[in-house]
Amino acid sequence: MATQRAQALPFALGWQPIEQTAAHGTLREHATRWRAFPIREQLQHDRQRVSALTWHVGDWHLDLSKQAWDVSVLQALLDLTHATALPQAIAALFAGEPVNLTERRAALHMAYRGSAQPPAAQRDRFVSEETRLAAFVAAYRSGALEGFSGAPLDTVVNIGIGGSDLGPRLVCEAFAHWGIARHGTVRFVANLDPSDFVTTTAELDPARTLFLVTSKSFSTAETLSNTRLARLWLARHFGVTPDDPRLNGHFVAVTNAVEKAEAHGFDSNRIFWLPEWVGGRYSLWSAVGLPIALAYGWETFAALRSGAAEIDRHFQSAPLEANVPVLLGLLSVWLATYLAQQQMAMLPYAHGLQLLPAWYQQLEMESNGKRVRFDGSTAPYPTAMAVWGMAGTLGQHAFHQWFYQGTQPIPIEFVAFAPEPAAADDDPLLRARADAEAALAANAVAQAEALLLGRSEAEAFTQVRAQGRTEADARALAPFLAIPGNRPSSFLLASRQRPETLGQLLALYEHATFVRGWLWGVNPFDQFGVELGKQMARQIETQSDAPHDPSTAQLLTWLKKAAR
């Protein structure tokens, strides 16, 4: 009965399948017009295009004028949001309604940003846990936490995978590159491959190392395997058995399954609660973000949350036509569902954000990589695009060639920062850094423009001739140098690098993911698909008698022979 009530929520709010809306037909007509991507011509002939398709929120400037759409497409998409009751869905999200339909849960990660209230029955526990977290961070950073030998703990190793790894790892990486003061060392272990643990801990002092074990269910195979390695690593160093209770001071757990953590030997005073209403890939704002707070301080962690809260308020209150998460979500619905784009590239021109594509990959593909809708029907249209990317300018020397002259134009999202002001003193190193930052920003802008404008055969011919080549050579080379142009891109540009700015960016993407899921009619807060592979892996590990397909049976036979 509860399941039926939860699954009825979209219909109670007024959601309907997009193919049943009038806006859907209009958008299909627009798609026919836009399949040739006449973006370059639109920019040349429509003087209002740039101002009509750019927005500002927080520290971020969003330019969508180089994308394959226009204001008439946007208006039809906005009509679609009303036909599918998106405003009501946003209100339900922040009100704690069970928008995670299949698991009958709210999605209230915004509570950690002060933008929503935890469920009434858990508010006291929520406040208490926040107090505990802050106190633990203060104790660690003051040197009051001691390990087995009495040495202060000043090195953090986070053991987790997926949402228990990517978010905190991304933030810590960004802050390190942005020069934010850090206390001690922070590292991350995620992979089941033991080489990940071995290389991560190779130069660490066990006596000073604190392991944060993060698993919502406390049954994640990779996390439990690496936790076992951690206990063995410590035990060997101290010359004790792995179950020696004196090792417990080197471990902290973040989980919803508190009893399971205790059963694994974790001290109840070192277990922090991860509520069931916080999904893994949305969890860095919670105790999952403990590595951030330990390394960079509670105030910095609070600033990250504060930036995200600014976007929460914007998402709740801004008109849809000026609501940046809504606009980002609508653009992806247009590209995937109506222009049949199957992939997008995310290119952060900031080395500190080199993990942003991987974080966003999980956020979007695990959230919206689904085909079954609220009513159990199969979506008759494409949903989430595949996401991939790399930090600029590294990608320019790896795969940008495909963007320029490949046969499949795909949407690209540039994320960049304005360079810091040049140093006033005469320090040549500081001046060189300022010059490099300016060059990095210039590269990002230039890539977007070059992909848009391209180069005709006639222009290529002229350039080759200007280099002194013969007319025959120039004509032979020109087709190879021609670049079609009209390649679509978005541009997110920030005015500065600070914790609030990163919080804003991550919250923008989180809410845009919710917008897409709602319009498509898929639940962005579950991930049942990934469970099947885990179940089959357990069957193979335990050598159960489950039947296998002929190819898998052959592989298993080969593995057994190779292991002898």
The residue assigned the tokens 């944060």 is: 212
Q: What is the three-class DSSP state of 372?
A: strand
Sheet hosting strand 386-389, strand order edge to edge: 54-57, 60-63, 489-494, 412-417, 343-349, 386-389
Q: What is the three-class DSSP state of 369?
A: coil
> Which residues does 367 contact at the CB level (< 8 Å), separation at least 6?
281, 384, 513, 517, 524, 525, 527
Q: Which of 397, 420, 449, 471 is catalytic?
A: 397
Among candidates 187, 181, 199, which has minimal Cα distance to 160? Answer: 187
> Which residues does 275 contact at the CB level (< 8 Å), separation at least 6?
108, 118, 122, 126, 256, 286
Q: Which of 310, 364, 366, 500 is catalytic?
A: 366
CA angle 253, 256, 257 (to 5 degrees): 80
Residues 416, 349: contact at Cβ < 8 Å? Answer: yes
Q: What is the three-class DSSP state of 107?
A: coil
Residues 100, 54: contact at Cβ < 8 Å? Answer: no
Distance of alpha carbon 363 from alpha carbon 525, whole angstroms: 10
Compute and round to an integer the Cα radius of gyration of the chain. 26
Residues 160, 214: contact at Cβ < 8 Å? Answer: yes
Residue 395 — φ and ψ, nearest 5°? -65, -30
Distance of alpha carbon 333 from alpha carbon 532, whole angstroms: 28
Q: Which of 259, 299, 471, 534 is catalytic?
A: 534
The residue assigned the tokens 């946003």 is: 90
| Beta-strand relationship, 60-63 and 489-494 | antiparallel
Query: Is 29 labeled as catalytic in the residue annotation?
Result: no
Longest pairwise C-alpha distance within the chain: 82
CA angle 96, 98, 104 (to 5 degrees): 140
Distance of alpha carbon 350 from alpha carbon 151, whole angstroms: 37
Query: Is 397 labeled as catalytic in the residue annotation?
Result: yes
Distance of alpha carbon 245 from alpha carbon 550, whole angstroms: 47
Query: Is 314 labeled as catalytic in the residue annotation?
Result: no
State the angle between helix axes of 499-520 and 356-368 in degrees (0 to 180), rounded to the nearest 10: 20
| Beta-strand relationship, 54-57 and 60-63 | antiparallel
The residue assigned the tokens 């920062």 is: 417
Among candidates 275, 239, 235, which has minimal Cα distance to 251? Answer: 235
Contacts 24+ apart (CB under 8 A), 89-93: 89/10, 89/13, 89/15, 89/514, 89/518, 90/315, 90/316, 90/514, 91/316, 92/9, 92/13, 93/514
Active-site annotation, residues? 366, 397, 534
